[in-house]
Amino acid sequence: MSLKYRLFALSLILVFLILPGCAQDKEDGENEKGVKGVEIKAEVTNNNLYTTDSDINFQIQLNIINNGYYDVKASDILLTYSGYDKGLAELYEAPQTFSKSNDEVLFGVTPLNPKGSAYPVFVEGNIHLPWASHEADFEYDMNLFIKYCYKYKTKLSTVVCIDPNQGYNSNSACKMKKLYPSGGQGAPIEFTEILPIVTSNKLAFQIYLKNSGNGLAFPVKGIFGSSYLQNCENLEMKSENYGQLTVKATLGEKIVECSPSPVMVDYEGSYVVCNFGKPDSQSAYSTALNLETEYTYVDTANAPVHVTFLKQ
């Protein structure tokens, strides 16, 4: 084999060795598609819920799955339960955090981990219906509702063209245009449009974003600095600061907080303006724009339990 072909083969090997490492790097602003975050799938693990007694025990498995792009610490997920009559049904060992150790992490989706990671939580309970048996068969349905809150973020990195001459120079290095980073960024809050606003004295971007998931978004911290996770059970659309998020933008070495701050982010969408002052050059040039927003996301799941009390 000639030296030329040996060098070519060696370069291919190096490419394949480097690519997997790059795919795992989540700090490089790589844009993952999708608008999902953390999801809970619930199922009753003891399926034969028949009894001739007045009591029956049940067990529910909650599979907590990170379908988004970003990793979540155990301490940043909180579960709450509702939707059952405590006089008839009682829960045991219903944890507020999803794992036994707050050091555990639910890893997000990557090319090497396309399904994300999951963690099971087992919730046990008892249904007591002393008046439902003996004389006739009786069926009882209970729906356990799970409301869960978790800290998440959305990041977008894209190349933008900045042209103070608005394209009048036919020799411009790039063409300025509105960008549509559709498909989401691997999180329920999605940046949907980027509009450059550029003159010789002004450089800004109008950024559109919306909630493309099924849940609700809240800021990470409340008025007194406490986490919204602590109030998970009571968070709803009527809650204070619903949808009030802050967007940060980075262009080169400049970091700005976009306005209005906070901005209402809901299912219909809204926009912020990120102002960077003057362009760095009066000629057209390309550079990287990075956008980021952090939030507490609130979502729900349910676990139906069907029990048959048999006639004795």
In this predicted model, what pLDDT tens digit does every residue of 216-262 receive, in sequence order?
999 998 766 678 888 888 899 999 899 999 999 999 889 999 999 99
CA dihedral sign, ordered 82, 88, 94, 96: positive
pLDDT at 101: 57
| CA dihedral of residues 258, 264, 266, 270 (deg, nearest 10) | -50
- Residue ranges in the chain whose pLDDT is less than 70: 1-31, 47, 93-103, 132-134, 167, 169-170, 223-225, 312
Distance, in Å, from the CA atom of 7 to the CA atom of 15, rounded to the nearest integer, reads 12
- In 47-132, alpha helices (H): none
Calculate Rg over the CA atoms of the chain: 26
pLDDT at 298: 97
Note if the pTM is more than 0.85. Answer: no
Instruction: Give the angle 95-114-185 at the CA atoms, nearest 5°.
Output: 85
Average pLDDT, the chain: 82
Distance, in Å, from the CA atom of 256 to the CA atom of 248, rounded to the nearest integer, reads 6
